[in-house]
Amino acid sequence: MFNYSVKSQSVLLASVLLSGVSFTANANNDVNTVVQQQTKPSHWSGLPLLSDKATERGYELPIPVGVSLFYNNIDADYIAVNDFEVQVDGGLLGFRGPNDYVVPAEDVSITGSDRSVQLKIDAWILPFWNVYALLGYTEGNKDILAKLDNVEGLPCDEACNGVVLPIPINYTAKNYGIGTVLAGQIDPIIGDTPVIVMAVGAIVKANTNTTDSVIKTKIASVRVGQRFDVGTDKLAWFLAFSHQSVDQNVTGDYSFVGTELEPLMEDVKFDIDLAKEETKNMSLSMNYDFGPKNEWNLYAEYGFLNWQHLIIGFGRRF
- pLDDT tens digits, 35-61: 444 545 678 888 889 878 877 776 667
In a 10 Å sphere around its CB, with 0-12 CB exposed, 13-18 middle and 19+ buried, how is residue 296 labelled? middle
Average confidence (pLDDT) over 77-89: 96
Given a contact cutoff of 8 angstroms between Cβ atoms, the answer to whether 289 and 12 are in contact is no
Tell me what pLDDT residue 46 has. Answer: 81
In-domain check, residue 150: no
Report the Cα 28 to chain-centroid distance in Å.
37
Rounded CA-CA distance 73/309 in Å is: 5
Entry pTM: 0.82
Q: How many CB atoms lie within 10 A of CB 6?
A: 28
Percent of the chain with pLDDT over 70: 85
In-domain check, residue 204: yes
Tell me what pLDDT residue 40 has. Answer: 56
Residue 29, pLDDT > 90, answer no
In-domain check, residue 268: no
Which residue segment(s) compose the domain that 223 sits in? 2-78+115-140+170-250+274-317
Cα–Cα distances in angstroms (integers) from residue 198 to residues 20, 88, 129, 177, in the given order: 11, 50, 10, 19
In-domain check, residue 155: no
In-domain check, residue 289: yes
Considering all CA atoms of the chain, what is the largest pairwise distance in Å, rounded to the nearest integer? Answer: 88
Q: What digits encode the pLDDT tens for the residues 267-305?
A: 999 999 999 999 999 999 999 999 999 999 999 999 999
Residue 5, pLDDT > 80, answer no
**DSSP designation for 232:** T
Tell me what pLDDT residue 61 has. Answer: 76
In-domain check, residue 154: no
Rounded CA-CA distance 262/23 in Å is: 60
Strand partners of residue 151? none
In-domain check, residue 94: no
DSSP secondary structure of 41-107? PPPTT--STTHHHHHHTT--PPPSEEEEEEEEEEEEEEEESS-EEEEEEETTTEEEEEEEEEE-GGG
Q: Which of 195, 180, 141, 249 is nearest to 10 (CA)?
A: 180
Q: Which of 78, 75, 37, 59 is nearest to 274 (CA)?
A: 78
Given a contact cutoff of 8 angstroms between Cβ atoms, the answer to whether 221 and 246 are in contact is no
| Residues whose CB is less than 8 angstroms from the CB of residue 233 and which lie 6 or more positions away in sequence, other chains included | 288, 289, 290, 294
Rounded CA-CA distance 25/127 in Å is: 10
Q: What digits encode the pLDDT tens for the residues 141-167?
A: 999 999 999 999 999 888 889 999 999
Domain total in the chain = 1
In-domain check, residue 293: yes
Mean pLDDT score of the chain, rounded to an integer?
86
